[in-house]
Amino acid sequence: MKQTTTLAVSIFIFFLIIGLHPAWANENFTPPVGLTPDPGFPVWLTPDIDNYLPLRTNQTSGLDWLGSDIDGNGSDRHWFIMADDYPDGAIHLVSIVDIPGLPEVHFHRSNLTPTPPEISRLPVDPDNGYDFEGISIYPWSDMVFISQEGTVDEISIYTGRISPGEIIPGESSYCRAGEINFLPGYISNITRFELPEWDTVFGLYFKGNLGIEGIASSEDRLFLGLESPYDFITRIFGQKSTILGIWEFDPDNFANEEENELLAAIDTADWEPQLGCIIETISGLDAIDSHRLVGIDRDNQRLFALEFSDEYALISGRTFYLDCPGPEPVESDGCDDIDHSPDLIKPSLESVAVVPSSDPSQGDVEEYYIYLTCDPWGPGWGLNEPDWGCDGYEQRLRSLLPALYRYTIPADILFPE
């Protein structure tokens, strides 16, 4: 896999906040960084860039990296699973061909969703359908973790079994577990994953449509992030922390629930000395390994990266402020004399997937690609430019989301210690 020699993004330190943030004086505090999207991003998650129809995903809330390879044209390609929190519970197999400045998004299977009989295995009201908020591939076997939200009684974590599909990986394939063995066809055998002290960690905070949105796994760890203990309106008026739970499980036998053990339950306010802020929401998580974690704080438009000790004390942490322009207008929008994409007000960044720029088994990774999806959830979607003068674009923005963003970050910037 070829290395990126020049950063595709502008990375800049927010020096102006030195005098504004009292935590700067703390020697443990690592300065935040600002990121702009890679060239060609964001892109609509639709198959037709000119007509934008039909939509291929409705409300992407879950995203995870399956692996990378080289396609038949010699281009780098990254494979993902996307999960919708739409009632049909759509789960998609998607690839992104990494053509500089012109990324190509391909939907290879429009729906990996568990078949209708599977819904009887979940405590889900069939009239309301699924509400998948997060998904995490476990590449060491044929398993996947899925977070179901919905009503308070439905909130839980499930495992599923992935059957091989007809699509074969290309050359030089790799994933977190080594070489890609197969690409998925269907997900079945949905089973609730029982976690000790689940209610102790999260039970007091669950509400309808407010549950586990951040989910990530390493070879023997499961990381779960609560969206927030507070509704959006409450959080507007002050910083409120949230909860991260970390469990150990038996990688050789998911059904061996007696081996599941709670390792840590962390209030994100505990990280403030090293992050310089409090993480209020966890709407997406991804694990580099058992001790390094990346997440998205949706309501503050902020990425965070964490490195833990063996006891899950925070060794280092850094936040990233994200520039989130809208996807580029097209000619049919009628946006006269527009030379840039508009900035968006509080885009709903719902999921994150971290992709190494090279095979980790072959040596240190120099850069990571951070993929983020935005779904159509309000109340923040809108333009930050009142004089934009392009009503057609704004209407399409609201009706055609979700969109996909990517940012490139050097490894030593993502994890500075």
Band (pLDDT 50/70/90 cuts) for residue 84 is confident
With a cut of 90, say whether residue 152 has pLDDT above it. Answer: no
Of 142-146, 150-154, 204-208, the one with minimum mean pLDDT is 150-154
Question: Who has greater pLDDT, 88 or 298?
Answer: 298
User: What is the spatial distance between Cα 224 and Cα 15, in angstroms, rounded to a whole number?
Assistant: 33
pLDDT for position 399 = 67
Q: What are 183-236's pLDDT values in tens digits?
A: 998 888 888 899 999 999 998 888 877 789 999 999 999 999 998 887 766 666
Report pLDDT for 348: 83
Phi, psi of 268 (to 5 degrees): -65, -15
For residue 390 the two structure tokens come to: 């392009």
pLDDT of residue 412: 94
Is 55's pLDDT higher than 70?
no
SS (H, E, C) 130-160: CCEEEEEEECCCCEEEEEECCCHHHCEEEEE
Q: What is the mean pLDDT of residues 252-263?
A: 89
- Picking from 243, 283, 244, the residue whose alpha carbon sits closest to that of residue 373 is 283
pLDDT band for position 407 (cuts 50, 70, 90) = very high
Structure tokens at 327: 């996807």
Q: For 75-80, what is the mean pLDDT?
A: 96
Is the confidence at residue 16, as pLDDT, over 50?
Answer: no
Q: What is the pLDDT of residues 161-186, one digit of tens each?
A: 898 888 889 999 999 999 998 899 88
pLDDT tens across 260-301, in order? 999 999 999 999 999 999 999 999 999 999 999 999 998 888
Q: Answer whether residue 15 shows pLDDT above 50.
A: no
The residue with greater pLDDT, 397 or 236, is 397
Which of these ranges, 29-33, 48-52, 109-113, 124-128, has the smallest mean pLDDT?
48-52
What is the pLDDT at residue 24?
43
pLDDT in tens, 322-368: 998 888 777 777 776 667 777 777 788 889 999 999 999 888 999 99
pLDDT mean across residues, the chain: 82
pLDDT of residue 73: 93
Per-residue model confidence (pLDDT) at position 122:
64
Place of tokens 């995903």: 57
The residue type found at 198 is W
* CA proximity to 112, closest of 49, 209, 187, 224: 187
Q: List the domains of the chain with CATH numbers.
A: 11-414 (2.115.10)
